[in-house]
Every structure is written in C-alpha cells, then in structure tokens.
Amino acid sequence: MKIISIILLILSLSSCNTIKKQAERAAIRNERFTVDLRSPQLPIGEIQAQFNNLFPMPGIRTVDIVVIYFPYEDAVCLNYRLNTYTYHFFWHKQGRDSFVKALEQYNADFEARRLREGRNSRTKSQYGTVKEFFLYWQQMQQARLTSIANGNMDIELGYYFRDKSPFFAVTQLQAYFESPTFFQEDNDLSPEIPIFFTRAQANELAALFDQDFLQSLAPVRQPAAGSRTPAGVEVDSY
C-alpha cells in the first residue's frame, strides 16, 4: 500500500505540474498578438510575390497573394498557398509601418546602387527585425487538410539577390505551434520562408498597408469577438 501511495503521489504532482505549465503557456498566448479567422474580414486586393522553388528545382516562382483586412483586430492578412501548405500571415500596424519604412530605405539604396550581391545571409535583415506577427498554416495531405496550426513569429526586412536581381524581401521566421490538447506533445514548427518583391510589387502592398486607406474601409474598430517561371517576372534593371 505504501508503494501504491507513493506512485499516486508522484502522478498527482506530475499532473499538477502539467496543469500549471499549461496555464502559464495559455496566459502568455493571451497576451500575444493574435487574430481570429472567424472575425469580420474585408478582401482588399491581390498582389504577387516570388518564392523559392522546391529543391532541386532552381530559381524562383511567382505566387498570387490575397490581401485581407480584419478591422476588429486592425490586422492585414497575406493569404497564399505554397507547395502543399496554405498560409495566413497577419500584420499588425507596427509591422505595416516598418514595411513601408524599410521599403523607402531599400528604394534609396537601389537608386544609389548600394545593394551588394552575394551576402544574402546578412542582407535579408538589412532593414531590421520586427516582432510578434501571427501565422496560421495548414497542409494538404492525400487530398485532405491537416489540422490548422498557429503561432507567433518575427520577421526580417531586407533584400536578396535572386537571378541577378535585387528583390526587396520579407523573411517569415519560424513559428512554433504548441498543441492545445491537454496531454499531447504534438508540436509543430512552420518553415522559414523568404518572400521576394519587385519594387512595383512592394509598392503595391505598401499602398494596401496605408492606415488611412484601411480606416476608410472600416472607420469604427470594435473589440475582437499559380506558378510562373522566373522568365515571367518583370524586374528592374540594376
């Protein structure tokens, strides 16, 4: 009986620790920037950007991105499909402002021919890192969608040389999803994804990020309740 009591005590302490850990993690999640996919939303446009092809295919390809405004959270979503995944990439106002400022710096560097090839590992964060974006991601497997994952992530703003041309770049860093299932350790990690914009594409997105434009669509904010080959990408000569 004494051994059984000790085992039950150990199991009880383990359960209490698990409950405490889950509560602490839930409290952290509640303080983070998040967006509810069921919130009211307004499609505001469609842009294009370039992404790396899957190995071993070289080069980049152009992908369509649907831009959606979530007025309750004052968040802009970039919704796109890449390979077998669907992504909902949410931007808060600070991130949108940082994008516009970084683009201005990039354009100035472009005009002054200060962009340097061969240093992508450094230049991808040339214009800074911005914290606390929000991401949903979901994979298609055998003609069915897997459960949707979500998590916060940071981004890097800079540029990449791809196919001899300097692209303005937003790099989605990895987002960590912790399964809310009580005793499940089924965690997931999103991939790091660089997104390459021509100057025209980046300027188009910056226009959709404009706060006056967004507020004109929803002036009263309430509390939250195909692939193309590289040859088809028009880039600026450099």
Q: Both tokens of residue 207?
A: 């226009």
CA 42, CA 29: separation in Å to the nearest integer?
25
Higher pLDDT, 72 or 58: 72
Domain boundaries, the chain: 32-232
With beta carbons less than 8 A apart as the criterion, state whether 223 and 59 touch.
no
The amino acid that residue 108 corresponds to is A
Q: Global pTM?
A: 0.79
Best mean pLDDT range from 75-79, 81-85, 226-230: 75-79
pLDDT 10s digits, 32-66: 899 999 999 999 999 999 999 987 778 899 999 99
- What's the rounded Cα separation, in Å, for the pair 158 and 102? 7
Residue 29 has pLDDT above 50, yes or no: no
Type of residue found at 215:
Q
The pLDDT value recorded for residue 7 is 47
Taking a C-beta distance cutoff of 8 angstroms, is the pair 75, 96 a contact?
no
Q: What's residue 121's pLDDT?
A: 87
Q: For residues 215 and 105, give the distance between their C-alpha atoms in angstroms, rounded to a whole number.
A: 26
Higher pLDDT, 57 or 88: 88
